[in-house]
């Protein structure tokens, strides 16, 4: 392959990566703030502005693990070449474009995973069966985890013997404790690439005796302290005004979910270019994540407002409590997926949460026929993207001579 052809492939791959990130910013990051807009806690344009900033920050600080999975762990025996990355990205972007045109949500995680598997197989690689088993198990568990957590959350919020001044701050405390232990790239850690707020603060006070494994007393105390501070802040707001306090918590919750969404989604756009940036170009991973963050930021600012207006009307019908019940699992599962390096569809998590919250109210609010069609369509996306990427790579290889 000539230097000119290689340069053109790199340029096309980068542009396609930016397009994928733009689509993710416009679509996948919108659900977190839709409930807050529906509850009149924030305007559409303000939400789009915050989504862009928070999702881009999450992409840079948390996007590395999933990006590595998509770029290196889906195929054994070969490294993804620029041609294979181009074929995979063009396939995934094509599926996303079809979803935009038909106004049917294409799961980016399935489209990108399938596309990179197909391109890798066409490149001559072997199936990474251990990775597929890990991804498949997690994906199968997502609806049950999200729906179950949403059901429990909605049940607590609906109980007459659990006042809002207790139930909502309790959830805020749990979220705060989890945030304290979320790994972030900007926090130094002597034993890992990314540190946590709790671990960093614990080291500043000496840590204390080890309780179990690598968990010391200082880590536990800091986690409890941050959880209690979060609960206290929300409780104070709820005591001033029940609805105002709930809207404030909904707004903060939307922010942390948007941040988590950026961290969990950017790898779908940047993963195919991992080997190109690290190996061929010799650039640090942070440069690749920054590229994805720029695309997500642009997509959120340019494309999110229209989708936010549409989805906020749906969440307004759900109500703020059921919206909280859908977003809390979204935050927890997104962070779990990031920690495990598993690409996920945030829309899948949120939809499962909406169904689980609806069951707590006596009705899921989504027809069984629609659920069956959605699941079938997602599976079709996964397997058809493998075939399309395989064929596209072979066609490009024939035309470009490798």
Residue 75 has pLDDT above 80, yes or no: yes
Residue 313 has pLDDT above 90, yes or no: no
Residue 394 has pLDDT above 70, yes or no: yes
pLDDT score, position 185: 82
* pLDDT tier at 177, thresholds 50, 70, 90: very high
Strands (E), 188-260: 210-212, 215-216
pLDDT score, position 288: 92
Q: Count up the domains in the chain and report the number.
A: 1
Instruction: Classify burial at 102, counting beta carbons within 10 Å of its beta carbon; exposed 0-12, middle 13-18, buried 19 or more.
Output: exposed
CA count, 13 A, side-chain hemisphere, 278: 17
Q: What is the pTM of this model?
A: 0.88
Residue 387 has pLDDT above 70, yes or no: yes
* pLDDT tier at 7, thresholds 50, 70, 90: confident
Residue 38 has pLDDT above 80, yes or no: no
Q: Check: CB of residue 320 under 8 Å from CB of residue 35.
A: yes
Q: Which of 80-94, 108-122, 370-384: highest mean pLDDT?
A: 108-122
Comparing 206 with 231, which gets the higher pLDDT?
231
Min mean pLDDT across 45-54, 60-69, 91-100, 358-367 is at 358-367
pLDDT score, position 205: 79
For residues 106 and 164, what is the distance between their CA atoms, to the nearest angstrom?
Answer: 37
Q: Check: CB of residue 50 under 8 Å from CB of residue 33.
A: yes
Mean pLDDT of the chain: 85
- The stretch 92-108 carries a mean pLDDT of 77
The SS3 assignment for 362 reads coil
Residue 299 has pLDDT above 60, yes or no: yes
Q: Which two tokens stand for residue 170?
A: 């309790």
pLDDT score, position 268: 93
Which residue range is the domain that position 211 belongs to? 3-400
Min mean pLDDT across 28-42, 147-161, 174-188 is at 28-42
- The stretch 112-118 carries a mean pLDDT of 95
Comparing 144 with 353, which gets the higher pLDDT?
144
């Amino acid at each position: 392959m000539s230097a000119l052809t290689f340069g053109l492939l790199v340029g096309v791959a980068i542009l396609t990566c930016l397009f994928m990130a733009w689509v993710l910013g416009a679509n996948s990051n919108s659900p977190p703030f839709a409930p807050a807009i529906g509850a009149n806690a924030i305007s559409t344009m303000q939400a789009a502005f915050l989504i862009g900033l928070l999702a881009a920050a999450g992409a840079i600080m948390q996007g590395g693990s999933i990006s590595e999975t998509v770029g290196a762990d889906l195929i054994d025996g070969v490294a993804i070449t620029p041609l294979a990355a181009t074929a995979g990205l063009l396939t995934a972007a094509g599926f996303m474009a079809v979803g935009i045109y038909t106004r049917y949500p294409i799961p980016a995680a399935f489209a990108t995973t399938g596309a990179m598997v197909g391109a890798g197989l066409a490149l001559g690689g072997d199936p990474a069966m251990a990775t597929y088993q890990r991804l498949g198990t997690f994906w199968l568990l997502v609806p049950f985890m999200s729906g179950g957590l949403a059901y429990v959350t909605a049940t607590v919020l609906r109980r007459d013997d659990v006042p809002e001044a207790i139930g909502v701050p309790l959830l805020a405390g749990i979220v705060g404790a989890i945030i304290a232990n979320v790994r972030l790239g900007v926090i130094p850690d002597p034993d890992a690439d990314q540190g946590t707020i709790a671990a960093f603060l614990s080291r500043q006070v000496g840590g204390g005796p080890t309780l179990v494994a690598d968990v010391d007393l200082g880590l536990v105390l800091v986690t409890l302290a941050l959880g209690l501070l979060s609960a206290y802040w929300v409780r104070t707001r709820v005591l001033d005004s029940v609805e105002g306090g709930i809207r404030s918590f909904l707004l903060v919750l939307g922010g942390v979910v948007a941040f988590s969404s950026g961290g969990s989604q950017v790898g779908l756009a940047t993963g195919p270019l991992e080997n190109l940036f690290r190996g061929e170009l010799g650039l640090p991973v942070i440069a690749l994540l920054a590229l994805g963050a720029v695309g997500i930021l642009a997509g959120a600012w340019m494309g999110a407002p229209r989708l936010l207006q549409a989805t906020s009307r749906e969440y307004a019908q759900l109500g703020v409590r059921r919206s909280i019940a859908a977003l809390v699992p979204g935050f927890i599962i997104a962070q779990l997926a990031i920690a495990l390096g598993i690409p996920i569809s945030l829309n899948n998590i949120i939809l499962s949460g909406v169904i689980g919250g609806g069951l707590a109210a006596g009705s899921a609010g989504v027809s069984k026929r629609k659920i069956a069609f959605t699941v079938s369509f997602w599976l079709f996306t996964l397997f058809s993207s493998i075939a399309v990427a395989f064929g596209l790579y072979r066609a490009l290889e024939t035309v470009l001579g490798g």
